[in-house]
């Protein structure tokens, strides 16, 4: 497949916190001593099933599990459940592997997504995962597997939760036969330049999985073997179990490469020829989200499955995955993460969805439901009102700049959000949507800011301190997150601000509102969920009709275009 360059994590940013423990990639995770038994996934062999077809086989979902065809009207998330398979004291026998590469742009997403879809065609239930904070690739994984794509990021959630989150994903909504984890950037590239913490190699060690290495062999022959040997030698404790060659030029080229790698005793499990016939469109922040091109996304994933089926030895890949040792860990559970079951009133929390707001981790919704909320989606592009009875609103990231005209034209919903009195949590795209204007077009006017696109990419991990009490954090609370955007706001923060990091203030906050560029993963700080749902239940947060309460600007957003 043709090369696709994309943005990654900011490897040049120095570590802002001291290293936590031993981050060597060869270290296996602790055996979970002292933990109470969790619920487990079972070991599954490949059933003799047929390829899933029809609406369910091609149901398009975003990363959090929302259907992205047919809208979000009256769509509710199910109540939080968890794994349904009992604990095995000798560990969980979950076949699994990590798809990695020496660098970005060499075909990890091609191979990982195609592999997921090809295995599903065999009748296997595949659990899809992605290393890092990515929201977009998991959307393609969701198409390939028919279940939400999930991220595994030690920086955002802590390394002690990674194995448990893998097991949770592999058992939700049903036990998986195999888990496939797509890596991020180069195999040893970590959250910060001087460490491999949160790298693909680090995650592979935390989940005790073999690595399938993808190598772009265009314009090289035996040198590819030297690259692979160097990666093996860099961390001998990491198990590289096979190689997939990408962009092979000819049968002769393929033969030379296999002979060279054979000298290392490393099997070549596939050779993908140079082709431009299978491409997924990209733009300034990577791939285009599946919600923006649902039918085409299905076709792309099908084409990737065809490509992998024709060029990769799936039996050998499955054998590698099944060679994984039992994973000794407790499956993460959203109810347990909050300290136990929640009883009482169930406030309705509206979560922005649709093509403009696609960035939402599945665990966010699972934690909200575990905290007692009734979670309902709404689409700011077409819904003229919030769901009935809404007591709180969550607006995550996405690409509002691609839909600015449609968002601006929906004046009814803009007015509604401007005067909504319940708690609101907004990240990145949500921040822009709540402002006065985005690239000159009127938005909600809930916040006194104007936003515009710029050529400069702002990205990287952040360790933030809550600057004031809000609906998701108490003043002084420390949270880890990441930024990834090409916009700026004027002003850059409110008074009070939402966060402080690197000696500066960021975002906007008050007791009922929290909005900033920072993306967070609530599995890493579940107290945010408890605080948000409690705020929804506060009698002072009862929603009022538009026009009964002034926003920060003292005007209705529909009036902004005339000012």
Catalytic residue numbers, as ranges: 428
- Sequence-ordered list of residues with C-beta below 8 angstroms from that of 202, at least 6 positions apart, any chain: 23, 25, 154, 159, 190, 196
Among 161, 558, 542, 455, smallest CA distance to 336 is for 161
Contact present, 88 and 164 (Cβ < 8 Å): no
Distances (CA, A) of 540 to 244, 403, 419: 58, 33, 14
Quick one: DSSP state of residue 16?
S
Classify 429 in phi/psi space as left (phi over 0), alpha (psi -120 to 50) or beta: alpha
The Cα 170–Cα 474 span in angstroms is 33
Cβ neighbour number for residue 383 with a 10 Å cutoff: 21
Distances (CA, A) of 284 to 151, 461, 518: 21, 19, 18
The Cα 398–Cα 530 span in angstroms is 25
In 187-327, where do the E strands start and end? 211-216, 240-248, 268-273, 282-283, 286-287
- Sequence-ordered list of residues with C-beta below 8 angstroms from that of 206, at least 6 positions apart, any chain: 29, 152, 154, 159, 162, 163
Q: Locate tokens 């890596």: which residue?
A: 183
The Cα 518–Cα 460 span in angstroms is 10
Strand order of the β-sheet with 240-248 is 150-152, 126-131, 178-182, 96-100, 211-216, 240-248, 268-273
Omega before 357 within 30 of 0, i.e. cis: no
Q: Tell me if residue 314 falls in helix, strand or coil.
A: helix
The Cα 399–Cα 511 span in angstroms is 27
The Cα 294–Cα 449 span in angstroms is 32
- Sequence-ordered list of residues with C-beta below 8 angstroms from that of 113, at least 6 positions apart, any chain: 137, 140, 141, 144, 182, 301, 304
DSSP letters of 319-380? HHHHTPPPB--PPP-HHHHTTS---S---EEEEE-STT--B--HHHHHHHHHTT-EEEEE-T
- Return the structure tokens found at 427: 């990240």
- Sequence-ordered list of residues with C-beta below 8 angstroms from that of 375, at least 6 positions apart, any chain: 76, 77, 348, 349, 351, 365, 368, 369
């Amino acid at each position: 497949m043709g090369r696709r360059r994309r943005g990654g994590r900011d490897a040049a940013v120095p570590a802002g916190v001291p290293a936590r423990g031993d981050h060597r990639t060869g270290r296996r995770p602790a055996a979970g001593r002292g933990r109470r038994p969790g619920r487990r996934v079972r070991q599954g062999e490949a059933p003799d099933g047929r390829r899933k077809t029809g609406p369910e086989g091609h149901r398009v979902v975003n990363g959090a599990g929302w259907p992205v065809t047919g809208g979000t009207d009256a769509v509710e998330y199910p109540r939080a459940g968890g794994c349904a398979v009992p604990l095995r004291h000798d560990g969980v026998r979950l076949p699994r592997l990590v798809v990695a590469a020496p660098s970005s742009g060499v075909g990890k997403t091609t191979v990982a997504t195609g592999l997921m879809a090809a295995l599903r065609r065999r009748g296997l239930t595949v659990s899809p995962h992605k290393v890092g904070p990515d929201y977009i690739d998991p959307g393609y994984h969701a198409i390939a597997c028919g279940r939400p794509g999930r991220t595994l990021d030690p920086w955002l959630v802590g390394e002690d939760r990674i194995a448990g989150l893998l097991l949770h994903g592999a058992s939700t909504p049903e036990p998986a036969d195999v888990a496939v984890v797509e890596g991020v950037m180069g195999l040893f590239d970590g959250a910060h330049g001087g460490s491999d913490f949160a790298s693909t190699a680090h995650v592979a060690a935390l989940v005790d999985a073999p690595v399938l290495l993808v190598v772009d062999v265009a314009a090289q022959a035996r040198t590819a073997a030297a690259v692979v040997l160097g990666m093996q030698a860099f961390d001998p404790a990491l198990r590289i179990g096979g190689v997939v060659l990408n962009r092979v030029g000819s049968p002769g080229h393929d033969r030379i490469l296999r002979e060279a790698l054979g000298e290392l005793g490393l099997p070549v499990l596939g050779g993908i020829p140079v082709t431009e016939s299978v491409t997924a469109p990209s733009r300034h922040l990577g791939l285009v989200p599946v919600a923006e091109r649902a039918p085409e996304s299905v076709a792309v994933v099908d084409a990737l499955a065809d490509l992998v089926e024709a060029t990769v030895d799936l039996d050998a890949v499955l054998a590698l995955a099944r060679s994984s040792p039992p994973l000794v860990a407790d499956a993460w559970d959203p109810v347990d993460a909050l300290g136990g079951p929640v009883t009482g009133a169930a406030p309705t929390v509206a979560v922005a969805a649709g093509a403009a707001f696609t960035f939402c981790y599945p665990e966010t919704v699972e934690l909200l439901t575990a905290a007692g909320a009734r979670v309902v989606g709404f689409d700011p592009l077409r819904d003229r009102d919030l769901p009935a009875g809404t007591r709180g609103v969550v607006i995550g990231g996405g690409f509002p700049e691609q839909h600015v005209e449609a968002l601006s034209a929906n004046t009814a919903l803009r007015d509604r959000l401007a005067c909504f009195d319940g708690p609101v949590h907004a990240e990145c795209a949500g921040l822009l949507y709540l402002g006065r204007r985005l690239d000159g077009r009127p938005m909600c006017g809930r916040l006194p800011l104007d936003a515009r696109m710029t050529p400069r990419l702002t990205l990287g991990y952040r360790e933030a301190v809550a600057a004031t009490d809000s609906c998701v954090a108490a003043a002084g609370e420390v949270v880890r997150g990441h930024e990834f955007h090409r916009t700026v706001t004027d002003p850059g923060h409110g008074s009070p601000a939402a966060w402080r990091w690197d000696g500066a203030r960021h975002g906007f906050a008050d007791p009922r509102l929290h909005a900033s560029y920072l993306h967070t993963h609530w599995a890493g700080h579940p107290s945010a969920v408890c605080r948000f749902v409690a705020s929804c239940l506060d009698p002072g947060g009862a929603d009022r009709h538009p026009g009964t309460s002034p926003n920060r600007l003292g005007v209705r957003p529909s009036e902004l275009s005339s000012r």
